[in-house]
Structures are given as structure tokens and as C-alpha cells.
Amino acid sequence: MSVVILETLRRHFTSGAYLVFVAFLVLVAVGSTFLSGQPGQWRSFVALLTLIAGAQLIGPEFSSGTLQLILSKPINRSVYLLSRWAGVVLAIWCAVGLALVADWMALVARGAPIPWRRMGEGAFGLSWSAMLVCAVLAFFGSFLRSYFNVGLYLVLQAVLGMALAAIDEIRPDMPGIIGASARFFDAYPAMGSAIAALTRNLFPDVPRAVAVDWVLLIASNTAVLLLLACLLFRRREVPYGAD
């Protein structure tokens, strides 16, 4: 397992794109924190890094033929998938760690007090939620090719978000299909609850102050998604070439 984790980390640490992104993250952290005195301005970029790094979990390896070469070796498929996930998550944690150190250095240089708790909770929340995002991407990657996992992730997030907003806004007396949809959701309230639950479980917001409930939610959902990903990936066919 450690072999694959180390290789995944090596690939990230020697990737120009990753290094440029981390350098950008550090620059944003140093610059914005030094100028504003407010640490953690870089957090939204970590979400982007998580998507980019998580997108490469399995799909691209499948499409390029690398996966087939690796699966010809004596390695359990589930172990490989979990190791890839762990490697990607560790690479993201390294980026978060560096940005956190940059924040601290900027605050020291500015002579400002260091809000240890707020900074720590913010970084922990981001790092912890990266586990779930990567688990969702690993799950989608376990049955999709190439970068379709991140495509499905974004589409699903957008569709669920729009559906939730729409359910709140639409009324039964509205004309046409909109009114019909409102009447449907009124008649079957469980549908609306299901969409809300799916959104809450797959795409939870990162709270400013970390709560135990949220930590457990992320951990349990990550575990369930990784289990499902392993089950699918074990049975997945991986043809290595066209006849």
C-alpha cells in the first residue's frame, strides 16, 4: 500500500502543475494575509486543487493504459484504489500545510497576533472535507473513464443545488411544468428531503468552526463511498487495447 501512496506523492511533487499551484497558493497566502491581516484567503483555491488532483485518481490511468500495466502486478485492486486515494489526499494536505505556514509567516512579518484556533480549524476543515471530495471522485472514477468523474461531480453538484433552490421557490399555482413540479414535490415531500439529504451528504459546506457532528459525517460518508468504489472497481473490466 505504501508503495502506491509514495508513488502518488512522487508524481504530485514532480508535477509542474502541482508545484505551480502550490506556489500560487503560498503567494496568495503570504500576500493577502500580509496586506489584510486576515489569514485563510486561499481556501477557495484548495477546493479547486482538490478537484484537479482528485480528478486524476483512476480515470486517466484507465484511459492511458497505465492501470492495466499496474493491475497485471500482484496488487489487490481495492488496496490500489485506497492507496491512490490516500496519496492524493496527502498531496492536498501538504499544499494546505504549506499555505498555513505561509499564513503564519505573513502574520509574524506583519507583527499581527496569530489566531491559532481559527487558522487551525480552517485548515483542518479544508483538509478533512478533501477526503470526502476525493472519495466521491474515486467512487465516480471507479466506473467512469478519463476525467468524467470530475464532470459528473460538478454536474451533480450543480443539479442538486439548483433543484434544492427551485423546490423552495416554486409554487403549485405557477403555470405549466413549474406548477406541476411544485405539486409533485408537495405530494411527495420525501423527494425533496432526499435531494436535500444527498446534497448535505455528498457536498457538505465546510463550517468555520469545526463541529464533531460534521467531522463524523465526513468520515462516515468517505468510508461508505470508498467501500462502494472498491466494490465497483474490483469487478470493473479494464481492456488494454482495441483489437
| 14 makes contact with another protein (CB under 8 A) | yes
Give the residue carrying C-alpha cell 471522485. Answer: 137
- The yes or no reply on residue 241 touching another protein (CB under 8 A) is yes
Q: Smaller CB distance to another protein: residue 12 or 43? A: 12
Least distance between another protein and beta carbon 155 (Å): 21
Taking the C-alpha atoms of residue 43 and residue 75, their distance in angstroms, rounded to an integer, is: 36
Residue 20 binds to another protein (criterion: CB under 8 A) = no
Candidates 45-53, 127-135, 186-194, 234-242: pick the segment binding another protein (CB under 8 A): 234-242
Q: Is 13 in the site for another protein (CB under 8 A)?
A: no
Q: To the nearest whole angstrom, how small is the minimum distance from the Cβ of residue 152 to another protein?
A: 19
Q: How far is the CB of 3 from another protein (least distance, A)?
A: 4
Q: Which of 44, 72, 193, 220 binds another protein (CB under 8 A)?
A: 72
In degrees and rounded to multiples of 5, residue 206 shows phi and psi of: -90, 115
Q: Which is nearer to another protein, 78 or 201 (CB)?
A: 78
> Judged by CB under 8 A, does residue 11 bind another protein?
yes
64 binds another protein (CB under 8 A): yes
Size, binding site for another protein by CB under 8 A:
27
Stretch that binds another protein, among 68-76, 144-152, 160-168, 195-203 (CB under 8 A): 68-76
Read off the C-alpha cell for 162. Answer: 439548483
User: How many CA atoms are closer than 13 Å to the CA of 192, on its beta-carbon side?
Assistant: 16
Q: Copy the grid coordinates of residue 48.
A: 479547486
Contact status: 76 vs another protein (CB under 8 A): yes
Contacting residue, 19, 23, 27, 69, with another protein by CB under 8 A: 69
Q: What value, to the nearest 5°, has the Cα angle with vertex 103 and ends 97 and 104? A: 90
- Examine residue 1 and tell whether it contacts another protein (CB under 8 A): no
Q: Give the binding site for another protein (CB under 8 A).
A: 3-4, 7, 10-11, 14-15, 64-66, 68-76, 235, 237-243
